[in-house]
Structure 1
């Protein structure tokens, strides 16, 4: 390798690994704040928290790597331009393309490695994080209880709903509803205005202290005659203590695997297979529902051209037969009470069909959103690899143009460009998930937006032009005003 290539590559790698370490630490701390509710107050040791952060690191690469490439390229070539090293290179006959040659090879290898990470490492880390979050939530019952919905309590054979949780460990509860199960049936309902979870490290029992509530229990009589009366018992209480065995929760394996997989947990081969299966399944769902609705409405499906011609002949024959009675109101032939009944039945039938269509539309919307998410995840793996290469060709010429090294202006420019790249990708993905944009375009949108900028900036940097030619813009305005003045003088 020539000396100039080694020099340029070494400077770039120095900035690359330094930027990568700093950005990774920043994103890890930012992500910790997002997951603080999953980790805080669970009595987790440092090993578990360390594993959680270790599994979390690969999932951050889709943000860290593009920003690292962009920032390090601006820093490297900005420093070269600021120290007039580019001027020395050009005086020696070394163009910008030759100066970037060794880094282009490195960035290409980095793009291939990024695709490998996105296809093999990130899906595994996503599944590890999903399982650990789910299992950590089972460490304490207070973590399982979600405000506003019924939550199953493992080992207690009951589900509970609270309107609000408070306290350092969410131990104080308000507006509690408990459904106690017996033989898989909810036979007991307990309601209380307030409650508190009390536990100790030495015991496998946790006490749920309920205050100011009611107790309802469905009595199961032995004789069939008494069962028809549906007897139940009701009582009021000021304080009611319910002990819950949490030995199963304390023995919870925080790294236990589950069979649940999402689009982010799959590689390219699995995604392609599932995309094909989801597409066929969605088509079958639409066909089956269409057939069901047409049969309920008394309509018919046209299968081919012969059946279509046959139905046209049958319809014409029927019209010729009943042409005399075509103006007769059939409803007027019925008695008033029967007419009202027929119209009401027809109204109910149409209403039921419309409700079925609305429900099916919502269901199909969710199905197609899952389908779109799989397509997005498939193309994002390739788009992430290409984004590293594209952003290098944005950052390197931009650094040469602005001619500023250090971490001041280059850092600001890199962050602004990355935010534009990132938010364009987020908006495009959200549109694509809802079907407002093709999922493939949604995955590639931000990269395609940056691609023409990389070409324009590289050409301007090669020609040793500035970021914006202000002189040409001013000359254009001057010519326009001069032409207007000449036209006014001539008139």
Structure 2
């Protein structure tokens, strides 16, 4: 049962967080517009496209910086409570500091569930719209950059088939120096090669040029050659080199299926996808850790007032974001465990939260 004090603090918690979002998102939009307005004019982008982009930008921006917004909003209104001696009055009435934290934890739970659900379904769609716009209209050679390295692509399609292409053009859907090998119990059964292969979207087929198929036999190999051959395969050429931000655009179930498929294919980008998966769960948990730190830092009335609390809060918030980004990149670019990289900032700041909470209780 929530008391009057619980409802009062919870209302301030959620209202200040919402106000912080509404205050900083327009600033983010203005800065983004000032940086990109020249390219928007040069590329003659339709107003409707720009409006849709900034709808996606708002969600993408808020999700990316949500820990900072939440942290600063709690610092802000808790410092006001402390400066108005409201916290002293609450604790002086016999309420323990742990009991005082209850509405904060309830607020963190509400925000955490909201961020978790947004991360599963809403944020992926906005990430796709945000990134598609950037690569299509704002980056030179953006469509080519969307797929990263398109040379020497080697993939395992399933348990028995392996595919190789020397290079892949995602714009024309053409791959060069194509080879498809089929094995049975580690023994080569057949191999198909072609100088190039083209995807035909109108009938979902492939056209292979300079086609050669070698079928391995007990008494001798069978060779089949044709200048051009049209057929169907179980893979799609676009799947050879997924767009660099593909994991961000998938819902939870789609991401799990995609990661499973990429693991079987031996994808070199698997760590990137695992980081995205783990962050869907670690970011909501950070709401609890940052809430405890923010309350512990700002509940005491300091000589510097709210300014001192905000200074400490901003330093801690940016330290958290710094750790999060550094370890995320470390996992994506090396063999460092994505699980450890994603959860390490929460672990470190969780220990800090316990220390600060014990100190605040005194």
Task: Tell me the TM-score range normalised by the shorter chain.
Answer: 0.5 to 0.7
Structure of higher CA gyration radius: 1
Aligned residue among 242, 250, 275 for 1:266: 250
Contact preservation (8 Å) 1:81, 1:404: no
Tell whether 2:249 aligns with 1:383. no
Which digits, 9 at most, give the CA deviation of each residue in 1:370-419, with x for residues without a partner?
10011000000101111111100110111013547976333322221111
1:338-417 equivalent positions in 2, closer than 5 A: 367-368=267-268, 370-401=269-300, 403=302, 408-417=307-316
Tell whether 2:278 aligns with 1:277. no
Which digits, 9 at most, give the CA deviation of each residue in 1:129-174, with x for residues without a partner?
233345446xxxxx8678xx9xxxxxxxxxxxxxxxxxxxxxxxxx
1:124 aligns with 125
Contact preservation (8 Å) 1:397, 1:457: yes
CA RMSD of aligned residues (A): 2.8
Structure 2 SS opposite 1:93? coil
- Distance in 1 (CA, whole Å) between partners of 2:46 and 2:135 is 17
Aligned residue among 450, 470, 491 for 2:349: 450
**In structure 2, do the counterparts of structure 1 residues 50 and 408 end up closer, same or farther at CA, with 3 Å as the change threshold?**
farther
- Distance in 2 (CA, whole Å) between partners of 1:384 and 1:47 is 32
Contact preservation (8 Å) 1:126, 1:265: yes
- Distance in 2 (CA, whole Å) between partners of 1:444 and 1:51 is 33
Unaligned 5+ segments in structure 2 are 145-173, 175-241
Following superposition, the deviation at residue 462 of structure 1 comes to 1.3
Structure 2 SS opposite 1:401? coil
Contact preservation (8 Å) 1:79, 1:405: no
Contact preservation (8 Å) 2:63, 2:123: no
Structure 2 SS opposite 1:385? helix
**In structure 2, do the counterparts of structure 1 residues 145 and 70 end up closer, same or farther at CA, with 3 Å as the change threshold?**
closer
1:116-265 equivalent positions in 2, closer than 5 A: 116-136=117-137, 262-265=246-249
**In structure 2, do the counterparts of structure 1 residues 40 and 51 end up closer, same or farther at CA, with 3 Å as the change threshold?**
same
2:319 aligns with 420
**In structure 2, do the counterparts of structure 1 residues 144 and 80 end up closer, same or farther at CA, with 3 Å as the change threshold?**
closer
**In structure 2, do the counterparts of structure 1 residues 110 and 13 end up closer, same or farther at CA, with 3 Å as the change threshold?**
closer
Contact preservation (8 Å) 2:328, 2:342: yes
Structure 2 SS opposite 1:408? helix
Quick check: 121-130 or 2-11, which moved more?
2-11
Contact preservation (8 Å) 1:78, 1:403: no
Structure 1 SS opposite 2:299? helix
Contact preservation (8 Å) 2:128, 2:249: yes
Tell whether 2:16 aligns with 1:15. yes
- Distance in 1 (CA, whole Å) between partners of 2:44 and 2:22 is 29
- Distance in 1 (CA, whole Å) between partners of 2:339 and 2:130 is 27
| TM, length-normalised to structure 1 | 0.49
**In structure 2, do the counterparts of structure 1 residues 432 and 36 end up closer, same or farther at CA, with 3 Å as the change threshold?**
farther
Following superposition, the deviation at residue 62 of structure 1 comes to 3.0
2:210 aligns with none
**In structure 2, do the counterparts of structure 1 residues 276 and 393 end up closer, same or farther at CA, with 3 Å as the change threshold?**
same
Tell whether 2:360 aligns with 1:461. yes
**In structure 2, do the counterparts of structure 1 residues 36 and 430 end up closer, same or farther at CA, with 3 Å as the change threshold?**
farther
Aligned residues: 264
Contact preservation (8 Å) 2:121, 2:251: yes
